[in-house]
Amino acid sequence: MKDRVLNLMKGCGLNLLILIFFIGCFNGAAIAQEKQRKKVGVVLSGGGALGVAHVGALKVLEEAGIPIDYIVGTSMGSIIGGMYAYGYTTTQLDSILRAQDWMSLLLNSTDRSNQNFIDRELEERYMFTVPLLRDKSKHLYGGVLSGERVLNMFYALFPAHTDSMDFRNLDIPFACVAVDLLTNKEIHLYEGVLPECVRASMSIPGVFSPLRKDGMILVDGGFLNNYPVDLVKQMGADIVIGVTLDAEVGEKTAEDVPNTAGVVLQIVSNIINNDKLKHNKEMTDLIINVNTIGYTPGSFTTPAINELIDKGEAAARKAYQDILDIRKEIGLTDEDTCVVARDAVQVPEESKLVNGTALPYEKGLEVSGGFRADNEELAAVLLGANYQFDTRFLPCIGAEIRLGKRSYGQLTGWMEVSDDWTLEGTYRFAYNETKLYRKGNRVLDWDYHEHLARLSFFRSVNYMMLGFGANFYWRRFDNLLTPMKVTSLDFLPSVGYDEERNLDYFALASFDNRDMRIYSHSGLYWLLRYSFKTDDGAHFEDKTGLSIFEAYVEQNCPLSERLTLVPAVWGRMMSTSDFDRLGDRNVIGGVGTHSHYLPQQMPFAGINRFEVVDDKFAALGATLRYRIGKKHHVSAIGNYGRSSRHLDDFFSENELVGCALGYGYKTPIGPLDFNFNWSNWTEKIGFWLNLGYMF
């Protein structure tokens, strides 16, 4: 028995030795094969919008089974390279780049769905807003475009690497190139805060604000090294595959540099060290040239982005045999599969991708301006300024001046009294020259100046705002002139007074998730408001205070990608008709025009001016709007309404019907609109022309 056990142990030991021998041989072969495989580096050149073509080229390299051991880039090449090294797949990159609104991103415009209620209202009144007196240590400055939203987007794209790190520890080792303006030296960024380094690499001087880092002023690396093959070689690459965006035929002509972006690219091309570029190309084992003729670094439109990505893929497929030859040079056979399947990282939610991870709002001054003109009021200018204090409760003060037939100056202060509610105080002095109409006839020239004081609390949460407060009005009439042909003002019990004084209490709720305020394609908007109007704080003309109910609801229903149906209903009802106050009467006029002359003005197609109606008014309507291209809109509008002094007569008095055919175009300074309209109230064909946002 003892001998048997010894023999068994000897047999097992021999088998174990044989097993260890084969495992060692296998591992040795695998290690030898790994040692035999050459390291591959991919270089992505700069070129603004043209650089999105890199995504198409990376798709084909993946498909061909090319392992990527290092990736480097400059400018847009650093953005694509950084995202790929971080872990985004080419499918994700393709989706992110095609879905992004690049023009809004570069111009620092904030998507409407991610603004609070107040910011939406302010932005859609002004043509421009310029930040001044901001803390320079916390904001980008020194260029026409600050690029802060671009930086915010990078923080959203790289959430796991918002602290300093070594980029060589990413999923794929990565580096990018920038230039220090202070020393005019090329800076290789291997480590740091990934979003900031990528942002620095794309900072075209004079166009994008440079990024200040460690005592350096970093700008676009393309000025000294737009195609950094030398950098990827330093990282350890044996084989280099490069993607360039300079596929040109013959010499450039004046027509090849058509716009500002083209001029910038030409300047970059002239400044770049041509000897270094030539040397870097000579060190490249395979260059994939993307034919970008017809596009510029500023071609950030959606069609251009889509076509450039496709062009990058087409260029790589054209070089597909060369790519397969590179596989062999790397040391791979047809059976080798060295491209490891990558676990896709999670793409940020759309709001963060579009607007970035918002940086905290710092103290500073913002100055805004607006302009509008129409065929009635002629021209008006709006100037505004807001200053944000850097204190616990974030108080803000603002001033606004309107110049035109209706002029005013206004001071406003806001203060957060809790996490949810804001206290607002406003004082306004206004002068207004108004012409009143009744059934198309001019019945009164009304000139007055007004003092308004308001104290209110409001809460804005995403798409909704709640508020309540009190208004004090004092209107002093300068002129009340009746044209000679008007013999009766039966719609006004009397106008024999010089001034009006009101103390009103109000509460309101509003909701707005429209994709845009002008030419909306989707979304709901509604406003409900209740006012209790008095002349002494409790009574109105020695009677119970006057109750006023107001409502407006519109739903934008997309019928197709270009066609939108907009049903709406609105109205304003007063609890009594036994009062003489001119400034409180119901008035209508305009297409989509709210509060144009007075806060209570309501829209109605076919009535262009300031038309007085009775105390009980309600209307419904529908707009059918079709978009041509990106910015042109044609529309057909129909409205139906009722007006009466008493509810008992509401369905028997004053039937209103109106319609309009219009055209609209979204310009950089606001909408350009005109329409031809008609109503049974005026019995005339009217014409309305407007340029700019309403204010």
Taking alpha carbons only, the member of 476, 567, 456, 42 closest to residue 287 is 42
Given a contact cutoff of 8 angstroms between Cβ atoms, the answer to whether 448 and 412 are in contact is no
Q: What phi, psi does 490 have (nearest 5°)?
A: -65, -20
The model's pLDDT over 587-635, given as tens digits with 9 standing for 90+, comes to: 898 887 777 777 888 999 998 877 888 889 999 999 999 999 888 999 9
Which pLDDT does position 195 carry in this prediction?
A: 86
* From 34-43, 396-405, 483-492, 497-506, the region with the lowest mean pLDDT: 483-492
Segment 668-677 shows an average pLDDT of 88
Taking alpha carbons only, the member of 310, 274, 279, 269 closest to residue 292 is 310
CA distance 167 to 162: 12
Tell me the whole-structure pTM to 2 decimals: 0.62
* From 242-251, 343-352, 483-492, the region with the lowest mean pLDDT: 483-492
Query: Quick one: 258 exposed, middle or buried, by C-beta within 10 A (0-12, 13-18, 19+)?
Result: exposed
* Tokens linked to 481: 């002139």
The model's pLDDT over 399-425, given as tens digits with 9 standing for 90+, comes to: 999 998 889 999 999 888 877 788 999
* From 238-247, 326-335, 419-428, the region with the lowest mean pLDDT: 326-335
Segment 104-124 shows an average pLDDT of 60
CA distance 680 to 618: 16
* Residue type at position 235: M
For residue 116, what is the DSSP state? -
The model's pLDDT over 52-105, given as tens digits with 9 standing for 90+, comes to: 999 999 999 999 989 999 999 998 899 999 999 998 999 899 888 887 777 666
Which pLDDT does position 119 carry in this prediction?
A: 62
| pLDDT surpasses 70 at 271 | no
The model's pLDDT over 142-169, given as tens digits with 9 standing for 90+, comes to: 444 555 677 778 888 887 766 788 999 8
Confidence of residue 256 (pLDDT cuts 50, 70, 90): very low
Each residue of 273-298: b (16+ CB within 10 Å) or e? eeebbeebbeebbbbbebbbeebbbb
CA distance 34 to 179: 36
For residue 590, what is the DSSP state? B
Going 67 to 72 to 73 to 78, the CA torsion angle's sign is: positive
Which pLDDT does position 418 carry in this prediction?
A: 79
Confidence of residue 556 (pLDDT cuts 50, 70, 90): very high
Which pLDDT does position 338 carry in this prediction?
A: 57
Measured at the CA of 291, the angle between CA 290 and CA 297, to 5 degrees, comes to 85
Given a contact cutoff of 8 angstroms between Cβ atoms, the answer to whether 553 and 512 are in contact is no
CA distance 208 to 141: 8
CA distance 628 to 670: 17
Segment 301-313 shows an average pLDDT of 90
Percent of the chain, pLDDT > 90? 33
| pLDDT surpasses 70 at 11 | no
Which pLDDT does position 174 carry in this prediction?
A: 95
| pLDDT surpasses 50 at 24 | no
Which pLDDT does position 344 carry in this prediction?
A: 66
| Structural element, H or E, at residue 77 | helix 76-86
CA distance 30 to 636: 73
| pLDDT surpasses 70 at 499 | yes
CA distance 100 to 78: 18
